[in-house]
Amino acid sequence: MGYTIYVEKAGTYKSTVTGSSSAAAGSFGGNYQWYINRNDGKGWVAIINATEATYTTSVVTKENAGYQYRCVVMDVYGNESTSAAAMLHVEYELP
């Protein structure tokens, strides 16, 4: 099961996603790469410059609801581990 990211007031907040991978990148040095799936048929796409243990989105709107994020961690030995996907859920007030 993945994670769900909740953002309350669309268009006003950023959300932070924390990687939950089992690869020991922090212990041995290593690389993080965050990916996004916008449900547009392109699948998982690397997010440019998203190479830290946590990723903060740009400002989100209700149209971003359902986007998924995950992190791939590669240790110095070339071993990869992929985190569970986290789904973005945006709540907004009805007029």
Per-residue pLDDT, 25 = 44
Task: List the beta strands (DSSP E) in the chain.
Answer: 3-7, 16-18, 30-37, 44-46, 54-56, 68-75, 80-82, 86-90
pLDDT digits (tens, 9 = 90+) for 50-77: 888 888 887 777 888 889 988 888 888 8
Q: pTM of the full predicted structure?
A: 0.74
Read off the pLDDT band of 12 (50, 70, 90): very low
Read off the pLDDT band of 92 (50, 70, 90): low
Report the candidate in 59, 69, 63, 92 with the shortest Cα–Cα distance to residue 2.
Answer: 69
